[in-house]
Amino acid sequence: MSEEVQRYGGSGGGVGALSLDLLGQVLDRVREPRDRKACRLVSRAFARAEAAHRRALRALRREPLQRLLRAFPALERLDLSACASLDDASLAAALSGADLAGVRRVCLARANGVGWRGLDALVASCPRLEAVDLSHCVGAGDREAAAVAAAAGLRELSLEKCLGVTDMGLAKVVVGCPKLEKLSLKWCREISDIGIDLLSKKCHELRSLDISYLKVGNESLRSISSLEKLEELATVCCSCIDDDGLELLSKGSNSLLSVDVSRSDHVTTKGLASLVDGHNFLQKLNAADCLHETGQCFLTNLAKLTDTLTVLRLDGLEVSASVLQAIGEGCSNLVEISLSKCNGVIDEGVSSLVARCSHLRAIDLTCCHLLTYNALDSIADNCKMVECLRLESCSSISKKGLEQIASCCPNLKEIDLTDCGVNDAALQHLAKCSELLILKLGLCSSISDKGLAFISSNCGKLIELDLYRCNSVTDDVLAALANGCKKIKMLNLCYCNKITDSGLGHLGSLEELTNLELRCLVRITGIGISSVVIGCKNLIKLDLKRCYSIDDAGLWALARYALNLRQLTISYCQVTGLGLCHLLGSLRCLQDVKMVHLSWVSIEGFEIALRAACGRLKKLKMLSGLKSVLSPELLQMLQACGCRIRWVNKHLVYKD
């Protein structure tokens, strides 16, 4: 695509002759952000078209925010979740003067610095706001909810983990936003039955509701059952809800399509049976980690959902072969099934299940230790469409089984073989799956360069590769990956301690790389790090824990090149205060730093470094010993900027 664009851009006039509308249409078809950027850069016409047509914006820093908002008047979606050091003042300033009449969705997830003033300004300047995401703004409370409630047209709202929101804030929202269709109250632990009751009286349009981890009881389910349009309900880990509540829920309107009661301790098959009985169009049922045994009534009721049920999660359940057979017979349209950590899953059961469910695309068999080749064989025979296969800790599956899967399931996109003891031969077979996007090979210490060479030469679409503790892997693997799998975004090389700087040098050519974990690679130094960060401009997360050879030089390289770095772990590294100071002072996107056991950094070093990064940091992990020696003003200031500090209560380890 980029070549094509360059050709047009080179001629200039040709592109310029096209109308902005047409160019906008063209740009809409350019998927990759980098390609769009290339278009913008080579042609003013494209830049104008982009300015007029751009719908979505994800800001990474607050400084250009104001300019960006004014440059793109047609914006509909605004993502500020990664915007470093965003606070009320900067948000209000950026919003003022910009034409945001078209903005419908705003994401402020983890924007801890934004409070009700910023939200007030946002709601005031975006009159057509329909969706707001405040998830994980742990400081947000009733005032923030009240500010959002001023957006009368709101349809979607996520208050997930807004720890300060109580019934009052919820009441503000439900009265202010009667058109609400989707609401997440996950982790808002202060909300009680009273608030949920008011919600179900006021928001009749509600289609999706998440009340996970709330301390609400059966009364809430009674209120919720009056919501006639509700399709999706999540009550994860609501320990006050039991079978009686589910029975109340089943008496409501028969509208539910998706129910998640996972980890609700007091729910049994009896309650689920009544729920399934009352809602005949259920498509998704998540009963993970709440059931211990299957009741016959549940299985018979489940069979009534044959036509609709597509997703079933029964993690942690005690299942016998006959139960799996019953599920297979009852729910033949299943697309996704999860039997993770289920006891008693054997080859015979899986075979009888997949014999009926030929539409399965995702199968989670994590920790089903008893499975062998036969199970994989029957999956391969029956489920040709399977895309996702999770087999972590299924150590009895052999290379023959994987061969069967690889040859019969060409659509396989994700496979988890962590701790399965696969070897190079198995990888050779697996390499036939050219669509593979995610491959997890953690703890498979027997695989070597040879096996991974097959993967890297055939699986060019790979996005995520996990080689955690694959000790035999050397620098050559990285060279092969850098050649074959250019799309890799996430790479885990923790404890592959044969890797050196020269291997990291190859990684520099993985331009898409965003997450890189290099934990305990004792041989790599600042040179390797600099070659990585110079090449991987998009690096967002970097883990250098226990890389004992990394020193200030590595941090200087990070400070100089890793401009998009957001999360960094440098615990146990031999860095000094100067390097830390420079790093934290320079990286403007850095928000989450774990720096435990930095024995070479003086208290003053920490103090200055933290002051340098104060406005941007959202999460810190440090030794608790520092709590008393850092100046209280600094800690106050960090808190005021929305930074949460996790103090690790350990003794400082000196490592020479």
Which residues lie near another protein (CB under 8 A)?
A: 63, 66, 88-90, 92-93, 95-97, 117, 120-121, 142-143, 146, 149, 167-169, 171-172, 175-176, 194-195, 197-198, 201-202, 576-578, 581-582, 585-586, 588, 601-605, 607-608, 611-612, 614-615, 629, 631, 633-634, 636-637, 640
Residue 519: Cβ within 10 Å count: 20
In eight-state DSSP terms, residue 190 is B
What Å distances lie between residue 88 and 95, 116, 294, 476, 536, CA to CA? Answer: 11, 8, 52, 49, 32
Give the residue with the Cβ less far from another protein, 207 or 616.
616
Give the residue with the Cβ less far from another protein, 453 or 581.
581
Give the residue with the Cβ less far from another protein, 34 or 70.
70
Q: Quick one: three-class SS letters along 337-368?
A: EECCCCECCCHHHHHHHHHHCCCCCEEECCCC
Give the residue with the Cβ less far from another protein, 89 or 652.
89
Give the residue with the Cβ less far from another protein, 13 or 632.
632
Q: Report the nearest approach of another protein to the CB of residue 502 (Å).
A: 29
For residues 578 and 605, give the distance between their C-alpha atoms in angstroms, rounded to a whole number: 7
Give the residue with the Cβ less far from another protein, 147 or 317.
147
Q: Report the nearest approach of another protein to the CB of residue 623 (Å).
A: 16
Q: Report the nearest approach of another protein to the CB of residue 107 (Å).
A: 22
Give the residue with the Cβ less far from another protein, 17 or 175.
175
Give the residue with the Cβ less far from another protein, 90 or 184.
90
Q: Report the nearest approach of another protein to the CB of residue 227 (Å).
A: 14
Cβ contact 428:401 at 8 Å: no
Cβ contact 369:395 at 8 Å: yes
In eight-state DSSP terms, residue 431 is T
Give the residue with the Cβ less far from another protein, 553 or 634.
634
Cβ contact 162:155 at 8 Å: no
Q: Report the nearest approach of another protein to the CB of residue 130 (Å).
A: 20
- Phi, psi (5° rounding) for residue 345? -80, 120
Give the residue with the Cβ less far from another protein, 263 or 611.
611
For the purposes of burial, counting CB atoms within 10 Å of the CB of 328, is it exposed (0-12), middle (13-18) or buried (19 or more)?
A: buried
What Å distances lie between residue 9 and 13, 20, 47, 454, CA to CA? Answer: 8, 15, 11, 38
Map residue 55 onto helix, strand or coil.
coil
Q: Identify the residue whose tokens are 């080859």.
A: 347
For residues 150 and 198, give the distance between their C-alpha atoms in angstroms, rounded to a whole number: 18
Instruction: For 358-381, give one letter per residue: b (16+ CB within 10 A) or e.
Output: ebbbbbbbbbbeebbbbbbbbbbe
Q: Quick one: three-class SS letters along 633-652?
A: HHHHHHHHCCCEEEEECCCC
Q: Report the nearest approach of another protein to the CB of residue 59 (Å).
A: 14
Q: Report the nearest approach of another protein to the CB of residue 172 (Å).
A: 6
Q: Report the nearest approach of another protein to the CB of residue 587 (Å).
A: 9
Give the residue with the Cβ less far from another protein, 170 or 426.
170
Q: Report the nearest approach of another protein to the CB of residue 15 (Å).
A: 34
Map residue 89 onto helix, strand or coil.
helix
Strand (E) or helix (H) holding 623: strand 619-623
Q: Report the nearest approach of another protein to the CB of residue 96 (Å).
A: 4
Q: Report the nearest approach of another protein to the CB of residue 154 (Å).
A: 14
